[in-house]
Chain A
């Protein structure tokens, strides 16, 4: 078999081994050419650096080869199907990248006089307008840096509004199925977290919610569509009940891709919702950021929005940067400068490209693709709940019962088949969860190939070939990695080999 061939170099054809940059440096190499600095008397006040830093010196060709080689060890949306539930791994249009790099945006300094950045403020305002119309909400705070910071923003606005009316409150209700960021955010805002169970249909248990809902509750944090991929049928009743006790409704907008253009969260009674521009509006995930998490707000929360924000002034666009005037009641500032401008450009390009018709079609296609997976796999895998689902479909691991194969093993075997695995073991409300989100970017042919692969793997598991799964993945440049040792004895940086370190001393 080809995979048993041993090579002299350790390279395997196009699969090339690449050491760390720290193992490739050599004195005398340069990756940049600078002119000699002018001769001056330094003004560093005796703090000048004397100790070497330890950075390696590489040339430009080495650098390009290094990053090219390591990039080839990554699976991206560009490479193949990435049905990672709750993450919305859709196509990232390259037009967005091109526009974000226009010098008129990329080379703008955040502290330029406002007269020189009117186009930038117009872009932020235009992006905000699209987000407000899509969600049916009156205002949007643009500055949060990511979804989790958007959650923080929403909960801070809620706390500021409650404190302003002299009614601080202590608890936040969070369903069991919520993303981990929800309880972490509520705690970061100083609230106690009270968990609400799900019912047998995968939705919030309304009666259990009502039992916990009283005038000490500041807010409910509810994801809709929820993390089981289901629309919360009772959402309007829940919103009414929450408002009845004077609490606020925080909606986690991670799953906006299921409904954009077809349902406006504002029509469902929500008070605030963050929007992950890197999910719904195609800004790249980038191996873990940067994201952007604008938060739409209902009228009662608008006065408490974070600084800064764009307003229409007498001489064009203006920026409110301090706690006076329109910003008087703001709860404060969340990050440096004005938000993730580069992401606003990309998201706006995506929204304008789709238009109102394309956005509705995209979410409908995302829902259709997920329901197609659910329909075609329901007799092979074990669906957690009856359909229809929204943009993602959820299975538990009961189809693997008595096979000796776990959800993790099954996922690793999918890697050998050329797919990125789905989200595993989340949400926590079903056992051994497999959460699949195909997005609107996939063809029917891709879905059919995926379905055939999962059917084949399931048959293999049920035939007693557990070893195939325990050994997986076998065809990747690395096999399963030892995460336990990594956590127990953390090695978080390269250090020079001992003899080299001693020689330097």
Chain B
């Protein structure tokens, strides 16, 4: 077996050195009968070529979003990832290192985490960021629990414009933790009034910008209302590229920013793994969950970095920790950071401008079609279209024509929970990958299936 270097001669020598008769001798603490005498019922080992053939056969059964005109968003976006990104993250020194607990031999990981934290804080308009979370949805749940610790209150108001997966993950994780998330109705019409819901029990208001239906808002008034009531404003961002075009959440008054970073440097990967971004105000630093990297110096005075503030974490605090998390999303954070380095200020803002321009052009084309209506007054690179019939069926018909036409809103909301009002709604996204041919293919196919 190519991955196992011990030879039978090695094994015999080592057993002799141990003083064991055979390998079973080493398993003698296993209760009688529990040690298997035959192999489990699975195929035997295979060569690289055979494994590649079998797994590739499964990959080939899928229609991938890079080959088809694709307009899917809803929290995961197809963006171009420069070749440099993957070449860098596949360096074995990054790929095969553990958490940097030994800083003298981990400065590579620590330096990119420090740079990552700085990039995240900058685009979010916040003072500090952590070294990443699992994804945007879990970052949102952690933000709510953090707000509970800061405000010493239990109630969290979740906007109806929050991505339903983020809403559900927050209800589950923060709910088990003892918070009481209150969920507003799906805000597809964009007229909810969160300010009226804030009271003296409210730990935080969670609002997404652009929201799940694509709308972009100035959150300044909401932030003021939160602060006036002693609550925190948590701003969720599912499309990190938008931060290149829109005023940063921190500049609108956010106290915590929880975001999905997949759009920068990371492939779609059928939704995972991705990378959660988490940024906060300096004054709340010690209530922030997750790993953080900090600057220091070695005994010769040379600048370097270490994991720090670990007294918040589970391996020190155990049941009193701020979170049970013990990993970040290291390699995805590296991919984010390499891509962001390539983009820089200039490229990041250009990328955002192209995304927005393509979405505006697409929205105008769709809005001009008979029977279609773009609901959004504002948007970044994604918007909601009302179709003349249920969107789920339309999307299936489009897929049969090789076009991935968008995400039916109904897929994200439990059947029957909110009546039929959302059955005809379709989320449509455009990015820098969207070509004129793609847009034409969508318009043509839509007119055929409607």
A46 at the interface (CB under 8 A from B): yes
Q: List, sorted by A's number, 24 A–B pairs whose CB atoms are closer than 8 Å.
A: A40-B361, A51-B247, A53-B248, A55-B340, A67-B88, A74-B109, A87-B98, A107-B65, A119-B61, A126-B58, A152-B176, A262-B35, A290-B273, A290-B332, A335-B134, A335-B272, A352-B43, A358-B3, A361-B4, A387-B18, A481-B296, A481-B304, A487-B311, A492-B294
Name the A residues within 8 Å of B319 (CB-CB).
183-184, 186-187, 193
Shortest Cβ distance from A156 into B: residue: B176
Asked if B414 contacts A180 (CB within 8 A), the reply is no
A91 touching B3 by the CB < 8 A rule?
yes
Given A236-B31, A352-B43, A478-B103, check contact A113 B51 (CB 8 Å). no
Q: Identify 12 new A-B residue pairs, CB closer than 8 A, beyond the known A152-B176, A188-B177.
A: A25-B345, A34-B351, A38-B357, A119-B62, A145-B134, A264-B34, A290-B327, A341-B271, A368-B15, A388-B28, A479-B298, A481-B297
Q: How far is the CA of A343 from the CA of B306 in the complex (A)?
A: 27
Q: Could you tell me which residues of chain B, from 6 to 56, have a CB within 8 Å of some CB in chain A?
A: 6, 10-11, 13-15, 17-20, 23, 25-31, 33-36, 39-46, 48, 51-52, 54-56
A281 → B minimal CB distance (Å): 12
Distance (whole angstroms) from the CB of A482 to the closest CB of chain B: 5
Q: Is the CB of B96 within 8 A of A285?
A: yes
B269 touches A342 (CB 8 A): yes
CB atoms of B95 and A55 under 8 A apart: no
| Assembly CA distance A51 to B249 (angstroms) | 12
Closest beta carbon of chain B to A359's beta carbon, Å: 8
**C-alpha spacing A82/B26, complex, angstroms:** 23
> Lowest 8 CB-CB distances: which A-B pairs, in order?
A337-B271, A104-B59, A110-B271, A119-B61, A78-B92, A286-B331, A332-B172, A31-B342
Question: Contact string, A113-136, partner B, CB cutoff 8 A, digits 1/0?
Answer: 101111110110010001001101
> Which chain A positions have C-beta within 8 A of B378?
43-45, 47
Question: How many A residues have CB within 8 A of the partner chain?
Answer: 203
How distant is B235 from chain A, measured CB to nearest CB, in Å? 12
Stretch at the interface among A93-101, A211-219, A459-467: A93-101
Q: Given A99-B56, A111-B411, A323-B414 in contact, is the A73-B107 Cβ separation under 8 Å?
A: yes
For A30, give its contact among B35, B109, B113, B346 (CB under 8 Å): B346
Contacts of B128 in A (CB 8 A): 492-493
Kindly provide the distance from the CB of A441 to the nearest chain B CB, expressed in whole angstroms. Answer: 7
Interface residues of B in 110-140 (CB under 8 A from A): 111-115, 117-119, 121-123, 125, 127-129, 131-132, 134-138
- Hey, which chain A residues are within 8 Å of B175, CB to CB? 332
- B155 near A: Cβ within 8 Å? no
B117 to chain A: which residues have CB within 8 Å? 492-493
Q: In the docked arrangement, what's the CA distance between A7 and B376, Å?
A: 62
Flag whether B217 is at the interface (Cβ < 8 A). yes
Q: Which residue of B lies closest to A319 (CB)?
A: B411
**Given the known A-B contacts A115-B399, A358-B45, are A30 and B55 also in contact in the complex, defined by CB atoms under 8 Å?**
no
Which A residues from 135 to 187 make CB contacts under 8 A with B? 136, 145-149, 151-152, 156, 159, 179-181, 183-187
Closest B residue by C-beta to A488: B308
Q: Are B361 and A109 in contact, with the CB atoms below 8 A?
A: no
Is the beta-carbon distance between B324 and A152 smaller than 8 angstroms? yes
- Chain B interface size band reads 35 or more
B184 within 8 A of A: no
Choose from B34, B316, B320, B344 the contact partner of A29 (Cβ within 8 Å).
B344
**Nearest-neighbor residue (CB-CB) of A146 within chain B:** B327
Establish whether residues A372 and B14, one from each chain, have CB atoms under 8 Å apart when the complex forms.
yes
Report yes or no: A287 in contact with B345, Cβ–Cβ below 8 A. Answer: no
Q: Are B272 and A340 in contact (CB under 8 A)?
A: yes
